[in-house]
Structure 1
Amino acid sequence: MKTYLAEILGTFLLVFIGTASVVTGGFGTALPIGQEGIGLAFGIGVIAAAYAVGPISGAHLNPAVTLGVFLAGRLPAKDVIPYWIAQIIGGILASLALWIMVSGQAGGHTTGFAANGWDPNAYSAWSAFITEIIATFVFVTVILGVTSASHTTVLAGLVIGLTLAAIHFAVIPVTGTSVNPARSIGPALFTGTAAIAQLWLFIVAPLIGGAIAGVVAKSRVFEKD
C-alpha cells in the first residue's frame, strides 16, 4: 500500500507542477513563461517526484513507464494495474487541486486545465499519434537505461527530468506533450468535451511507445555483452 500511495503522491506532484505552469504561466497569461518554462516545470516536477518517492515505488508516475518496466522484466504483472490506478488517481487529484486553486481567479477561470490536444488545422491525428509514440519511446528508453542494474546513478532523477523537459521543447507545438496517460486524463476531465474526445490518443500512443521501449530494453540491444 505504501508503494501505491507513493505513486499517487509522485504523480500528483508531477501533474500539478506541470499543468499549473501552463494554466497560470502559459501562453496568453499575464506573465507567460513560454514553451521553455513549461518544459522545465514538467522536468522539475519529475525530478522532485523521483527523489521524493523513488526509493518507495520507483517513481514511475506514468502508466507508459510502468508498462515499459513490466515488459523489460523489472516489475511483476500483479503490480501493473495497481500502479496504473494509483497514477490515474494522482493525476485526477492534481487537476482537482488546480481547479480549486484557480476557481477564485478574478473574472473567472477560462483557459482550461492544460489538457493535451492537437489542432487539426496544424497537425493531423496521425501526426500527433506518431509524435506521442516516438516521444514516449525516447522518454521510457532513457528511464530504463539510467535505472538499469548496469547503469544506476544517483543522478537518474535529474537525467529523467531533463529528458522530459527536452521532449516538451520539441513536442509542445504538436500535442502539448503528454507521453503520460495519467498526465492527460485528469486535465481532460476538468477541461471538457473537446479534450475528452481526443483523450484516446494520449492513452493509446504513450502505451505503445512505452511498450516498444520495454521490449527493446528486454532484448538488451543497448547493453554490453
Structure 2
Amino acid sequence: MNAKRMETVFRVREFVRSRRLQPGEKLPTERELADLLALGRPLLREALITLEALGELEVRERQGIFVRRLPLEELTGSLESLLAWPKEMLPEMLEMRRILELPAAELAALRRSEEDLRRMEECLEHMERLHLQEHREQDARDETDEATQGSLWNTLFHTTLVQASGNRVLLRSYEGFSVVMGRITAHMRRFHVREPSRRWSHLIVEEHRRILLAVRNGDPETARKAMGAHLDETVRVLYSLPEQPLFPGGEK
C-alpha cells in the first residue's frame, strides 16, 4: 500500500471517529463520501475494501456502508506495552500467533464460505503479482512500497482466514493482537537490515497457497500443518536478521 492509499484509509477512519459513528450506523454513500473527502472513487473503493477486510466496515449490497466495529483501542490498549518490550519478548508474540492461527486454520477448513475463499484468493493473487514484480530491474523498483504492500496483503490473508473460522471471540482476539504484531513488524523492518526478499517472497507465496488449498479442500489437519509450517518459517527468518536493537535505544 503506497502512501496515498494508506492516507486514504486513515482519512476514512478519521471520518468515522469525527462523526462519532457507532457499530451498525450507516456511512454516506460511496459517491457522497468521495465528495466529502475530496477523493477519487477508485481510491476510496480500495480503502473501503481494506477496512472491510480488517473488520472495521461492512459493505452490504444495495444497502450501503456500515460501521462494523470501532477501532480496537480498548483491546489494544492493554497490549500497548508490547511496543516497549525488548527483542527477547518476541518469541512470546510468535507463540501467540500459533495459539490463535493454527486452530483458526482448522476451523476455516470446516466453515469457510465461497466468499472467504474468494477473498483469500485475491490476497494471494496480489502477493504473487508483487513477487513477480521483484524480477524487474533493481533501479526500477520501489522496494519499500512493495514490501509494505506485501505486508498488507499478507495481513489481510490471515485476517480473512480467521474470519472464515466463524468464531467471533477468536476473531476479536486476533484483531487486537495483529494490530500490535504489525507495529512490531514495522519496527523490525525499520531498524534491521532487511533480508534479500526474492527467495523468501517466493516461499511465502507457496506457503500461503498450501494453506489456501487445504482450506478450500475442507482438510482441517492439513490446514493446521500448513499454517504451522508457515509460522515456523516466519520465526526462522525473523531470527536470521542481524542483531540490532528492535527499538531505538532499547535492548537487543
TM-score with structure 2 length normalisation?
A: 0.34
Larger Rg: 2
Which structure has more RCO (C-alpha within 8 Å, separation ≥ 6)?
1
Question: How does the TM-score come out when normalised to structure 1?
Answer: 0.37
